[in-house]
């Protein structure tokens, strides 16, 4: 990795971000990063604790003369989404992120960058480390496993945190203040199949959908990017209906909260139909590329000759799997009436895999309206139940209801306008910020979410705007200085 990042300003923030990129920290594999942050706090001589679920809390006393200010909690999450391009060799459990400067942006070579939420964590660490920042009583609260279950936020105990104002440092557009977010639920489906013999007179192919942009299933869902699992289901439906295609296995996506960029299926085709199918596939590729040309210019669909599988999925279950995947809703379901331009309800068909006589999948349902989420959940249950699948829902987390009368919101609105000559936008986000969960445990908190500009989080195209990081830092420092007294 290029150490040129260490020459950027603010120096403390970028130094800490560089350190974070050197420590593997995919969700569910956070031991090293947890110990690093814990040791960081202890090395500064600050009270540092790990709670029973693996969150880290570091307390810094108020600056002299500011002890009477309301206590502030700076909050972020330690884990990152592990996504890489198909041709990139990278082990997220062992390898550092290879980040570099490209013009006015920080990027990573072929992988996610981890700016989500590494920049927020680095900023909080920089505040702890800095000796020239004025602030009242301060806590830094770094949660575990945000990306795959919000385990840390759900596990925090009431009373362990002392502050009155929460600044969540996990949004992705500088100049925007977030005061609300969507809630979500995981939908998990499984098809159990019997195996059938591979008939004579067939050839095997691996059908591949690749070259999609992917992205965050909440933040980017309104961009209407292609979903590789949905595209693959369209191909399989046509192949099964018209060309006698038989299915051996399916794979697609890797995370419920990332729009799947690549998917594949191992199939066999009768010899007499293979040429017609391949011709149809080429035609369908052109149709889909034309439909998605504005958002997916590098989409590729192809069938590569393959070794014949040992067995196939039985025909009845194959039909049910293909029909359910094709019928499953995906993408934006409804836009908000109250906040124009905001997605209210959506679903991402994010994961598909075959293992041990099972086809397994996962969706993520989001909504800022709980009854709308339940309605969508019922719809998904109906689709997969009719197809004979087992369908369960878990990991529900609540949304964060906006409070336009928030005192810290008005403070930060006035402060941003004075500093940068324009008002910041006040928004809610169609993603699962931890504020909704944390607010359930600490209902008296006044909460705002803020951050620098990060584009395409949860995908290898993730990048962070350098200038926005500077502005975010200056704004954060000024906010801490101007927190009101108790």
Strands (E), 330-461: 331-335, 343-355, 358-367, 390-397, 425-429, 446-449, 454-455
79 is catalytic: yes
Q: For tokens 């019922």, what's the residue?
A: 378
Question: ∠ at Cα 378 (372, 380), nearest 5°?
Answer: 105
> Which element (helix H / strand E) includes 317?
helix 315-327
- What are the tokens at 29? 């594999």
Q: Rounded to an integer, what distance in angstroms lies between the CA atom of residue 131 and that of residue 55? A: 25
Strand bridging mode 176-181 / 425-429 = parallel
Q: Rounded to an integer, what distance in angstroms lies between the CA atom of residue 339 and that of residue 347? A: 19
* Other residues' Cβ atoms within 10 Å of the Cβ of residue 291: 13
**For residue 413, what are the CA distances in angstroms to 4, 32, 70, 74, 421?**
34, 38, 18, 18, 11
Catalytic residue chosen out of the listed positions 79, 129, 164, 220: 79
- What are the tokens at 213? 């942009």
Residue by residue, DSSP assigns 299-310 as -EEEEEEEPPPS
Catalytic residue chosen out of the listed positions 139, 145, 146, 262: 146
434 is catalytic: no
Q: Which residues on neighbouring strands pair with residue 167, listed in sequence order?
A: 74, 448
Contact present, 150 and 437 (Cβ < 8 Å): yes
| Residues recorded for the chain | 486
- What are the tokens at 349? 């068909």
The C-alpha R_g of the chain, in whole angstroms, comes to 24
Q: Rounded to an integer, what distance in angstroms lies between the CA atom of residue 379 and that of residue 394? A: 16
Q: For tokens 């004075």, what's the residue?
A: 418
DSSP 8-class letter at 156 = P
Q: Rounded to an integer, what distance in angstroms lies between the CA atom of residue 62 and that of residue 64? A: 6
Catalytically annotated residues: 79, 146
């Amino acid at each position: 990795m290029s150490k040129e990042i260490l020459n950027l300003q603010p120096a403390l923030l970028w130094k800490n971000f560089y350190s974070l990129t050197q420590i593997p920290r995919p969700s569910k594999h956070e031991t090293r990063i947890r110990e690093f942050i814990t040791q960081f706090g202890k090395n500064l001589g600050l009270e540092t604790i790990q709670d029973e679920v693996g969150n880290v809390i570091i307390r810094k006393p108020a600056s002299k003369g500011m002890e009477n200010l309301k206590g502030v909690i700076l909050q972020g999450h330690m884990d990152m989404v592990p996504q890489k391009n198909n041709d990139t060799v990278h082990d997220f459990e062992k390898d550092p992120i290879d980040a570099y400067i490209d013009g006015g942006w920080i990027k990573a070579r072929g992988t996610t960058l981890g700016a989500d939420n590494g920049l927020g964590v680095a900023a909080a660490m920089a505040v702890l480390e800095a000796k020239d920042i004025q602030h009242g009583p301060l806590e830094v609260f770094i949660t575990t496993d945000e990306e795959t279950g919000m385990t840390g936020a759900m596990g925090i105990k009431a009373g362990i945190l002392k502050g009155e104002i929460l600044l969540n440092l996990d949004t992705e557009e500088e100049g925007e203040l977030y005061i609300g977010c969507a809630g979500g639920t995981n939908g998990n489906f499984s098809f159990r199949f019997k195996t059938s013999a591979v008939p004579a007179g067939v050839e095997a192919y691996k059908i591949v959908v690749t070259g999609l942009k992917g992205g965050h299933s909440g933040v980017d869902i309104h961009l209407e990017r292609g979903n590789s699992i949905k595209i693959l289901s369209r191909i399989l439906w046509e192949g099964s209906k018209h060309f006698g295609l038989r299915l051996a296995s399916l794979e697609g996506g890797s995370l419920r909260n990332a729009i799947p960029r690549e998917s594949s299926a191992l199939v066999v085709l009768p010899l007499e139909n293979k040429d017609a199918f391949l011709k149809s596939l080429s035609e369908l590729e052109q149709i889909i590329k034309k439909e998605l040309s504005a958002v997916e210019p590098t989409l590729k669909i192809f069938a590569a000759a393959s070794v014949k599988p040992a067995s196939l999925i039985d025909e009845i279950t194959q039909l049910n799997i293909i029909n359910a995947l094709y019928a499953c809703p995906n993408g934006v379901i409804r836009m908000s009436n109250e906040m124009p331009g905001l997605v209210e309800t959506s679903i991402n068909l994010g994961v598909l895999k075959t293992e041990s006589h099972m086809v397994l999948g996962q969706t993520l349902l989001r909504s800022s309206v709980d009854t709308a989420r339940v309605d969508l959940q019922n719809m998904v249950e109906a689709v997969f139940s009719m197809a004979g699948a087992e369908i369960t829902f878990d990991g529900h987390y609540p949304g964060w209801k906006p409070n336009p009368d928030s005192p810290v919101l008005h403070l930060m609105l006035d402060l941003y306008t004075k500093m940068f000559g324009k008002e910041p936008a006040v928004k809610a986000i169609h993603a699962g910020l931890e504020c909704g969960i944390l607010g359930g445990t600490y209902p008296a908190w006044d909460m705002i979410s803020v951050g620098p500009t990060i584009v395409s989080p949860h995908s290898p195209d993730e990048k962070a705007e350098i200038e926005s990081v500077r502005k975010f830092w200056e704004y954060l420092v000024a906010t801490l200085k101007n927190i009101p007294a108790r």
